Amino acid sequence: MASEPTALESKWCGIHPDRQAVDSCAECGRAACLACAVPVRGRVLCAECARRVVGEPVRTPLRPRSLGSRFPDAAAATLLGIALLATLLPWDRFGALTGMLSAWRLGPDPWPFLAGLLLLAATAASGVVLLRRWPTLLRYSAVAYTAVAAAAAGAVGMALLRAPDFASHTPAPYVALAAALGAALVGAVRLRRTS
């Protein structure tokens, strides 16, 4: 003689109608499946009643990062800003890159223009890291500004190496090179410490 199914075995979960109930809520009486049944102080509650009875967990505010931990980000952003400003000045005393913004003109030698674009991208990425506004971008921005600053230093170096023999450079490309290398170094040290 087969036993009759109990009332609970014939019930389905109130939240998940495709799942069979394992118990009913002690507060509201709603049937709860295994995923929804929450043991609280010796009773079984549904997830909604458990949140109401226990309360939402108190989220402690994140402790603001100290100035010391922001120093590498500020240093890299400052160095990249200096390098970017150096692309606005003339790079040659005489030759193709003698005017203001001459590094931003696409000419026969693409390296100064590429260096300017890379320094602009690296400065933007370091700004994202410094502001800490966009958490999804923040994860990749430190790696990005480090790699792009190194690539920008390489582009400035190529512009200096491939310049015609008669070109006489101003201090601007050397400032851009030193600042980009410094920012890449600061970024590499920062990444090494955080990993």
Return d(Cα 129, Cα 135) in angstroms, integer: 9
**Single-letter residue type at 3:** S
Q: Which two tokens stand for residue 30?
A: 């709603």
The string of pLDDT tens digits covering residues 109-128 is 899 999 999 999 999 888 88
**Under 8 Å between Cβ of 122 and 81:** no
Closest C-alpha to 77, from 183, 175, 148 = 183
The string of pLDDT tens digits covering residues 56-77 is 665 555 554 444 467 888 898 9
Mean pLDDT score, 168-190: 92
144 — pLDDT class (breaks 50, 70, 90): confident
Percentages (nearest 5) of helix, strand, coil residues in the chain: 55, 5, 40
